[in-house]
Amino acid sequence: MDMFFIIIIILLLFIGVIGSFFPVIPGPPISYVALFLSHFYVSPLKDKNDLWLWAIVVVTVTILDFWVQIYGVKKFGGGKKAVNGSILGLIIGIFFIPGIGLIIGPFLGAFIGALLDYSEAKTEGVNVNNAVKIALGAFAGFLLGTLLKLIVSLYIIYIIIDSIPSVC
C-alpha cells in the first residue's frame, strides 16, 4: 500500500511543479496534497505544525499569484481593460504554442487592453510606449507569480524528501 501512495505522491509533485507554469493547474495546492498524503500515509513530518504552516503558505501564494499580475499592470499605469486583457491573454495563451503562449498571451492582452484604454480616454493619439510599459508590467507580474509558485512547489518536494527517515 505504501508503494501506491508513493507513486501518487510523486505524480502529484510532478503535476504541482508543472502547474507552477500553467495557470489552469493549481501547482502549489496539488503539491500540498502530496505533502498531506506523505505525512499521513508514508512518513510523518518532523513537526506536525508544518502542515498548517504550509497550508497557509499555499493559500497565500495562490492568492498572490492572481494579485501580482493585476498589480503589475496597475503599477505600470494600466486601466481596467489592460487588466482584463492580461487575464484574457493568459487564458487564450494556454491554447497556443505551449509555454510561449503563456508568456506572450498576458503581454499581448495587456498591450491591446492598454491601447483600448487609451483610445477610450480619447487622448490625442494612442501612446504605444505606455502600452508596452503596461504590458511589461503584466509580464513581470506573471513571472513573479510563476516564480513564487515554483519555489513553493519545489520546497514542498524538499520537505517530503527531508521527512523520509534515513535507512543507515
Tell whether the torsion through CA atoms of 115, 104, 137 and 84 is positive or negative. positive
User: Which stretches in the chain have pLDDT values below 70?
Assistant: 1, 97-99, 120-126, 166-168
The 8-class DSSP code of residue 42 comes to: I
pLDDT at 50: 87
pLDDT of 11 reads 97
